[in-house]
Each structure stands twice: as C-alpha cells, then as structure tokens.
Chain A
Amino acid sequence: MMDALGSKPAVVIEHRFDAPVDLIWQMWTDPVHFKEWYGPEGASIPSARMEVRVGGSRLVCMEVQTPNGTMQMWFTGEYLEVVENERLVYTESMSDENGIVKSPGEMGMPEGHPTTTEVRVEISADGSGTRMVLTHTGIPEDSPGAAGWRMAISKLSNYLDARR
C-alpha cells in the first residue's frame, strides 16, 4: 500500500505539442527557452546552467515571492541519458547555489521527501507536432534517510492496519 514511495515510476504524463521535435528538445536543453516555461505558477527561473551531455551537471534556481520576501531554491542534478531529439534523462536534488546537494532535512523539510528524483523526457514526431512522455520517479534508494523513512511509513502503516 505504501510502495508508491519506492522506485517505480511515480508520475507519467503524456502531452502533445504543436511544434517540431527539435524545438521541444530545445525547450528542455536551452536555458533561454527552459526559463520561460519551467517555473511553477508564481515562480521564476533567474538562472539555469545545463551541461547537456551524459555525466554533465545542471543547476537551476527557482525564485518564489513569499510574504516574507524572495525565496530562492536551487536544484542540481546530472544528465544520465542524452539522445538529441529523442530522450533526455536527468536526476534532480535540492541543493545550495553551488550545487552541493542538501538533504531534505537540511532544507527544513521532513526526511520523507526523496533526496533524488529522476526526470525522463521522451519525445517523438507526431504529424507536424511532437508527442512527449514525461516520467518523474522518486529514487529514495539513493538516500539512506529516505529509505529509512519509507520503511518507517510502511511499518507504521502495517502496524496500524494490523491493529484495526
């Protein structure tokens, strides 16, 4: 029941864009374009550094306006697969502005948030447009803390079920 915190695909979203594959590829790999759409509602992307090659790193800053002023969040990661106009896979973790990974605990978040997630983007031509499949997976295995957390939740959950 709690295994959604495990390693299987967490979110899979399919979307069709009225734009050619190479332009969609740029949306993900060219910081100029990426900044225009990536920030969630109310957030902006003041900086995005991307070394789009296998083993290359990425560092994205997200800026959110809060009642207490501007808050910056940094996300870092590594490119795992780079197949131009086909497939892009990278990891994502919260970090400081130098790309040093911060544990969710250090960021003031409860231990349960996976330290690292994996974003997989697969694109293919669909008529004059592009079909994209996005898979966003939590990989708590990489983090002893998160794995422990998952065990704690599933233990608690089993315990609660058993007592009812």
Chain B
Amino acid sequence: MTTAVDDDLLDETFAALANTTRRAILARLAQGAATVNELAEPFDIALPTISKHIKVLERAGLVVRGQRAQYRPCALDAKPLKRVATWAEQYRPVWEARFNRMDDYLKQLQSNPKDGGSR
C-alpha cells in the first residue's frame, strides 16, 4: 500500500537525519558527489562505520550511489527532506480511513442492529 510505504520512508528519513555524522555527510555531499573514502576523511571513524551510515542514508533515499567504476560515488538526493517537511500530511490518510470507518459504524448504529444492518 502506498501509504504504508510512504510512512516507512518518512520513518527512514527521520531516523537517517537523527545522527550528527550522517548530517555531516549530507552537508559534505551538498558540495558535490564523493566516494566513501572522501566522505570518511574528515571523520575519525572507521571506514566500515562510514559505509554503514551511508547505507542508512541510501535506504532513506537521501543518498544515491553511482554505478560507475568500483568507487560508486555517493550523491545527495534532497527530495526526502521535502517529505519530512510535510510529515503532518502523513496523518491525512489515517484520519480519512478513520472517518470512513465512522461512516460505516454510524450506518450500523442507525439501522436496526438486530437485522444484521441491512435496510
């Protein structure tokens, strides 16, 4: 379902952004694409850890990896940041589904409950 996928993506985006190192990586990528090695340079962190951070950013759709050569440079994709900005919109389908259920429930209440709800 689209909504569930969107929700998951939003969760991923928030989770990805909730980390100083990952925000720093994004800030670096805003200056242009970079390889994992280049991204690791300013940090006193082991390469595998940086790779892990990049994977989180990739899952959240904030970073795309190139297919070129073995370096697979990382690039920024800022689109999910816009989705975060409208997090509240994520509530809309939830409420709409609730009100449809309220409609059904009201119909059930207002008809004779004993005859199975049919008119």
Chain A residues with a Cβ under 8 A of chain B: 1-5, 10-11, 13, 15, 17-19, 23, 27, 33, 36-38, 40-41, 109-113, 132, 134, 136-138, 152-153, 156-157, 159-160, 163-164
Choose from B85, B88, B97, B99 the contact partner of A41 (Cβ within 8 Å): B97
How near does chain A come to B25, taking the closest CB pair, in angstroms?
A: 11
Choose from B23, B87, B109 the contact partner of A152 (Cβ within 8 Å): B23
**Complex contact B95–A112 (CB within 8 A):** no
**Complex contact B14–A13 (CB within 8 A):** no
The answer to whether B9 has its CB under 8 Å from any CB of chain A is: no
List chain B residues, Cβ under 8 A from A152: 17, 23
**Complex contact B78–A40 (CB within 8 A):** no
How near does chain B come to A15, taking the closest CB pair, in angstroms?
A: 5
Q: Could you list some 27 contacts between A and B, CB below 8 A? A: A3-B85, A4-B87, A5-B84, A5-B87, A10-B91, A11-B89, A17-B99, A17-B106, A23-B109, A27-B102, A38-B98, A41-B97, A110-B18, A111-B18, A112-B87, A113-B87, A134-B95, A136-B95, A152-B23, A153-B17, A153-B85, A157-B78, A159-B27, A160-B26, A160-B27, A160-B30, A163-B30
**Chain A residue nearest to B3 in the complex (CB):** A41
A99 and B117 CA atoms in complex are apart in Å by 37
How near does chain B come to A17, taking the closest CB pair, in angstroms?
A: 6
The answer to whether B40 has its CB under 8 Å from any CB of chain A is: no
List chain B residues, Cβ under 8 A from A2: 81, 84-85
**Complex contact B106–A18 (CB within 8 A):** yes
**Complex contact B31–A156 (CB within 8 A):** no
A19 and B102 CA atoms in complex are apart in Å by 10
Choose from B82, B88, B98, B102 the contact partner of A40 (Cβ within 8 Å): B98
**Complex contact B30–A19 (CB within 8 A):** no
**Chain B residue nearest to A104 in the complex (CB):** B14
List chain A residues, Cβ under 8 A from B91: 10-11, 136
List chain A residues, Cβ under 8 A from B72: none
Nearest 5 interchain pairs by C-beta: A10-B88, A110-B18, A110-B14, A163-B30, A37-B102
List chain A residues, Cβ under 8 A from B26: 156, 160
**Chain B 9-23 near chain A by CB (<8 Å), digits 1 or 0:** 001001101100001
**Complex contact B27–A37 (CB within 8 A):** no
List chain B residues, Cβ under 8 A from A4: 85-89
List chain B residues, Cβ under 8 A from A36: 101, 105
A70 and B14 CA atoms in complex are apart in Å by 25
**Complex contact B97–A113 (CB within 8 A):** no
**Complex contact B23–A112 (CB within 8 A):** no
List chain A residues, Cβ under 8 A from B86: 4
